[in-house]
Amino acid sequence: MIELNRTYLGRLSEQLSELIEQQSTEVFKRAGLIIPVKSSSLMAAIAMLGPVSVADLVRALGRSHQLIQQKIPKLVALELVTRQPDPQDQRAILIAITDKGREQLALLDSLDGEFERAYGEMEQDAGPVFDGIKRAIQSLRARPLVDRMDV
């Protein structure tokens, strides 16, 4: 594998994300979770805010409208959420969690301690990854790369 320097920090962070997704998929499968790994936070937001519009989910999660829209059909097909017309505005659609979705989220929540322990163990090997990533995001939001470079 090619060694990447800091110019490729974005690619390196993608590799970490992909590795976490792959390994979490195996954990989810063993635990009986059918929630797609990359839809976990979306499911939690729907449960917390729902019934909720896609626009409100976009604001709550800071993700693109297109990305949220792409994930909803799979969650509907898995019977984890439903789509229903907004009684206040028939043009709008609200996303709501189902009983099956609530059960799946409860199962995911029951794994919090195991994920905390596993990531804590990883951080003993690698250093404070979680806090480092959060600080990096805050730093780049406060002062973007273009403001840090002479180009």
Whole-prediction pTM value?
Answer: 0.85
Please state, in angstroms and rounded to a whole number, the distance separating the CA atoms of residues 71 and 33.
16
The CATH number corresponding to 36-98 among 3.40.50.2300, 2.60.120.20, 1.10.3720.10, 1.10.10.10 equals 1.10.10.10
Q: How far apart are the first and last CA of the chain?
A: 30
pLDDT tens per residue across span 29-85: 999 999 999 999 999 999 999 899 999 999 999 999 999 999 999 999 999 999 999
pLDDT, position 6: 86
pLDDT, position 122: 95
pLDDT, position 3: 80
DSSP secondary structure letter of residue 35: S
Give percent of the chain with pLDDT exceeding 90: 87
Better pLDDT: 80 or 151: 80
Tokens of 135: 């600080």
- Residue reference for tokens 């059909």: 73
Please state, in angstroms and rounded to a whole number, the distance separating the CA atoms of residues 78 and 87.
24
Q: Residues of CATH 1.10.10.10 domain(s) within the chain?
A: 36-98
Tokens of 147: 């403001």
